Amino acid sequence: MLSAIFAFAAGCGNPQPGPPGDALPPVSAPPPETVDSAAPVVGSAGTASLTDTGSGAYRGLWVLCEGSRRVLEAPERIDVLIEDAQALGTSDLFVQVYRGGRAWYRSSEADARPYETIVEEHGADPLASLIEKAHAAGLRVHAWVNVLSLSHNREAPLLSELGKPAVQVDRKGRSILDYPEGYDLPEPDRSWLRAGTPGIYLDPAAPGVADKLVATFEELVRNYPTLDGLHLDYIRHPGVLPFVPGSRFGVGLDYGYGEASRRRFQRQTGVPGPYANDEAPDPKRLRNTTRWDDWRRDKVTELVERIGTATAALQPELRLSAAVIAYVDRAYLSLAQDWRRWIDDSLIDFAVPMIYTKDDRLFGYQIDALGHDARAERIWAGVGVWLFDGRPERAARQVELAQRAKLAGDVLFSYDAIYASRKAAEGTGGEQARAAPNLFTALAPLPASEPTTAPAAAASSP
């Protein structure tokens, strides 16, 4: 996911209205400005209240589907997650349920073999169980989905149905499917460029791609009507390092150059391009580059809008959010991700910029910029706490900096890392094991005299 691709690259008030007559209405009502400790969770069968961090800000946890913990794959891990989330002051769980075209939930649109295996072994729907238990404990659940990334899965149903034209093509005319094993860049490019997060990426402008993705997430919300949110990840073009400052400079490598997408650009804009000569495409000779860059960004934005419209029709209170690249200019110029526009036009309820860095000064600069952004009340800071397993006090310091910026909240990446850090500390043995420095104890907003450990069942669970 939120992998360290751009590791040097990561609250809700009332939605800001977009241009009259043009903007999509708010996808859903935003969370309240402060948490009402007496208010039950929407859709909860119990009476537990929402949890906050004690400062009025929201706190989220990213929970991986294929990390070290694999919470959805065993009922007892869900119970431990809920208890740990409460101890960490969590209000919102961002639970990964769709990755690489595969589903950890009931689905006919995606490859549901992970879900089917879990049901066969345990007899229960893992996402439905998690939602029910989370609501009873006063926690919201957002279904976290990797939208345009198929990871390394060439067998994804969407790809099998739409074929190679659905996959991103780079400026040199090469499909990512033709890249070397591992999907990093081919030579000679690899001598001076690197893929940010190697993998298979879909082109949102290619025929059928947006339709299939909208149908996939529409089905998810229809099948789980008590979900509190849908969290979009990898809702962007592939990234290459160093970053590309837009196509007009003719440097680096960017994506979206599939033949069908280029033809669609010409039809919709009425201008030729992006190659100066379509009969002999030359990556160094482009034209109408500003229009081309704008158009590619628009295709990603249109996908966000369509997902929001379709899911809001099913569940008007659903909160739509996106994990986004914290460097706004790079997201805009290099990755076709105009996430500030998504907030301005109320296409999403909030964004979570992923601020993943060990450089505390850089983190501070990023947080300061976000905190002074006019959209701050609809931005949650994504903090890469996994980077500080050996220095948990530094993870706590970054979270403190994020809270001082008065953003709407923070989201910690990831629960797997926090859990593993605590288990490693407990494994040191002796009377001081529970007090050994680890991410869990550093991040839990509890007095030092009240250490929290997992229940006995967790100690024996894999």
Domain that holds residue 14: 4-460
Specify the range with the lowest mean pLDDT, choosing from 33-42, 77-86, 423-432: 33-42
| Of residues 187 and 429, more confidently modeled | 187
| pLDDT value at 281 more than 70 | yes
| pLDDT value at 199 more than 80 | yes
Return contacts of 68-72, CB within 8 angstroms, 24+ apart: 68/416, 68/419, 68/420, 69/415, 69/416, 69/419, 69/420, 71/95, 71/130, 71/415, 72/97, 72/104, 72/118, 72/126, 72/127, 72/130
Indicate left, alpha or beta for 288 from its phi (over 0: left) and psi (-120 to 50: alpha). left
pLDDT at 21: 28
pLDDT at 9: 34
Total number of domains constituting the chain = 1
Confidence tier at 435 by pLDDT (50, 70, 90): low
> Other CB atoms closer than 10 Å to residue 129's CB: what's the count?
16
- In this prediction, residues 346-364 reach a mean pLDDT of 97
Q: Are 283 and 289 in contact (CB under 8 A)?
A: no
pLDDT at 57: 78
According to DSSP, residue 247 is labeled G
- In this prediction, residues 1-30 reach a mean pLDDT of 33
pLDDT at 434: 55
| pLDDT value at 12 more than 80 | no
Condensed to tens digits (0 to 9), the pLDDT of residues 88-114 reads 999 999 999 999 999 999 999 999 999
Work out the burial of residue 382: count CB atoms within 10 Å of its CB; fewer than 13 is exposed, 13-18 middle, 19 or more buried: buried
Specify the range with the lowest mean pLDDT, choosing from 251-260, 369-378, 440-449: 440-449
What mean pLDDT, rounded, does the chain reach?
86
| pLDDT value at 43 more than 60 | no
pLDDT at 458: 30
Q: What is the Cα gyration radius of the chain? A: 22
Return contacts of 356-361, CB within 8 angstroms, 24+ apart: 356/2, 356/4, 356/6, 356/7, 356/8, 356/9, 356/10, 356/382, 356/384, 356/387, 356/413, 357/7, 357/8, 357/384, 357/387, 358/387, 358/388, 358/394, 359/8, 360/394, 360/397, 360/398, 360/401
Place of tokens 């919709």: 268
| CA-based nearest residue to 380, from 53, 4, 154 | 53
Helix pair 75-87, 415-426: axis angle to 10 deg: 90
Where helices occur in 335-431 by DSSP H, the ranges are 339-344, 360-371, 392-404, 415-426
| CA-based nearest residue to 345, from 314, 304, 295, 313 | 304
| pLDDT value at 32 more than 80 | no
Q: At a CB cut-off of 8 Å and minimum separation 6, what does 121 contact?
A: none
Task: Please give the share of the chain, as a percent, with pLDDT higher than 70.
Answer: 82
pLDDT at 427: 80
Encode burial over 311-346: b for 16+ CB neighbours within 10 A, e otherwise. bbeebeebbbbbbbbbbbebbbbbbbbbbbbbbbbb
pLDDT at 352: 98
| pLDDT value at 344 more than 70 | yes
Condensed to tens digits (0 to 9), the pLDDT of residues 282-303 reads 999 999 999 999 999 999 999 9
Place of tokens 């009931």: 106
- In this prediction, residues 15-32 reach a mean pLDDT of 31
pLDDT at 203: 98
Q: At a CB cut-off of 8 Å and minimum separation 6, what does 84 contact?
A: 415, 418, 419, 440, 452, 454
Rounded distance between C-alpha atoms, residue 77 and residue 126, angstroms: 11
- In this prediction, residues 42-56 reach a mean pLDDT of 34
| pLDDT value at 341 more than 70 | yes
CATH number at residue 253: 3.20.20.80
Rounded distance between C-alpha atoms, residue 11 and residue 31, angstroms: 8
| Of residues 450 and 457, more confidently modeled | 450
Condensed to tens digits (0 to 9), the pLDDT of residues 261-276 reads 999 999 999 999 999 9
pLDDT at 55: 42
| pLDDT value at 461 more than 70 | no
420, two tokens? 């593993």
Condensed to tens digits (0 to 9), the pLDDT of residues 136-177 reads 999 999 999 999 999 999 999 999 999 999 999 999 999 999
pTM: 0.86
Q: Are 301 and 204 in contact (CB under 8 A)?
A: no
| pLDDT value at 410 more than 80 | yes
pLDDT at 445: 73
Q: Are 154 and 177 in contact (CB under 8 A)?
A: yes
| pLDDT value at 394 more than 90 | yes
pLDDT at 25: 29
